[in-house]
Amino acid sequence: MAGLQVTHLTGIRELSLSDLQQILSTTDQFAEVLQRSVKQVPSLRHLTVLNLFYESSTRTRISFELAARRLSAQVVNFSVAGSSVSKGETLLDTARNLEAMQMDLVVVRHQASGAAHFLAQQLRASVINAGDGINEHPTQALLDAYTLRQFAGSLTGLKVALIGDIRHSRVARSNIFCLGKLGAQVAVCGPPSLIPQAIETLGVTVLPDVVEALRWCDVAYVLRIQRERQQAGYFPSLQEYAAWFGVHERALQQAGKKVPIMHPGPVNRDVELAAVLADSGHSLILQQVKNGVAVRMAVLFLLGQR
């Protein structure tokens, strides 16, 4: 195994196709480990992983924590509440101080786009972006790609529709980069106010109508709608958003088919996605969550090799 060309995972955009493929094939190995009775390997027992979370999170933090522990790494969790951050310390000071305690890998989630890049420039530890503002959430896109490959065999030519708030979604951005590199076709669909101008330059098609998007795609990837976007005037009400851009049974009926559904979670039930579809046999959502641990084990393992 050659190791990755990058020493940090700040985004999918910076990742070569071969690094991307190496992460996915390494994930296969760890997915196999997770099927064993004892789901732990000693690979990273010499390393310490810092989870540096400036935004609240359930599944991402726990997924990274489990991934690290199943590699036998030491894990230190740092969340904003009850920390020196309330004493006004800068991100860089916090990170440098924690790094001085000999952290090898720093997993960071932060509300500012670019936070992970910034730390990657400043720290000697390997930085893994667990979501930075509206920029990227690369391990989400990796677990999505892994789930899609598991479902469809190959991503080449696979049609994926990203539906919802494209403008503010780091998940959408990372998926657009990732799916593009892996040869999938990507369309985006949502209210015009939530589609960035010139998004086509990223190689995606804009489909303004949900039914049309569902008709076109092989897989529908539904994005979480942030309730605070309504206050900001991006759409008039959650009810109208659900009626016009939600993915529900009527839309599928109009499209004339059933499609597999993905979602990064947590789902606003019956807003962007009908509860009945989220729980149906066509939902890949829990498979995404399950694969998240294996993908993150692969990323931590590969970055821990240097």
Residues near its own copies (CB under 8 A) are 34, 37-40, 45-46, 48, 53, 56-59, 62-63, 65-66, 69-70, 74, 76, 78-90, 93-94, 96-98, 100-102, 227, 265-269, 286-287, 289-290, 292-293
Closest to its own copies by CB, 57 vs 230, is 57
Residue 96, Cβ neighbours under 10 Å: how many?
Answer: 15
Residue 244, Cβ neighbours under 10 Å: how many?
Answer: 14
Closest to its own copies by CB, 100 vs 198, is 100
Residues with Cβ within 8 Å of 112's Cβ and at least 6 positions away in sequence, in order, are 91, 132, 133
Closest listed residue to residue 136, CA positions, set 159, 120, 155, 157:
120
Q: Collapsing DSSP states into helix, strand and coil, what is residue 264?
A: coil
Rounded-to-integer distance, Cα 129 and Cα 137, Å: 6
Residue type, 290: K
Q: How far is the CB of 183 from its own copies (least distance, A)?
A: 28
Q: How far is the CB of 42 from its own copies (least distance, A)?
A: 10
Q: Collapsing DSSP states into helix, strand and coil, what is residue 280?
A: coil
Closest to its own copies by CB, 201 vs 228, is 228
Max Cα-Cα span within the chain: 58
Closest to its own copies by CB, 10 vs 94, is 94
Closest to its own copies by CB, 19 vs 165, is 165
Token pair for residue 237? 């009400």
Q: How far is the CB of 291 from its own copies (least distance, A)?
A: 9
> What sign does the dihedral 29-153-303-112 (CA atoms) show?
negative
Residue position matching structure tokens 């989400």? 140
Q: How far is the CB of 274 from its own copies (least distance, A)?
A: 14
Q: How far is the CB of 176 from its own copies (least distance, A)?
A: 23
Closest to its own copies by CB, 81 vs 198, is 81
Token pair for residue 125? 């530890």
CB 263 within 8 A of CB 274: no
Closest to its own copies by CB, 22 vs 60, is 60
Q: How far is the CB of 287 from its own copies (least distance, A)?
A: 8
List, in sequence order, every residue forming a beta bridge with 197; answer none if it has no partner: none
Q: How far is the CB of 3 from its own copies (least distance, A)?
A: 17
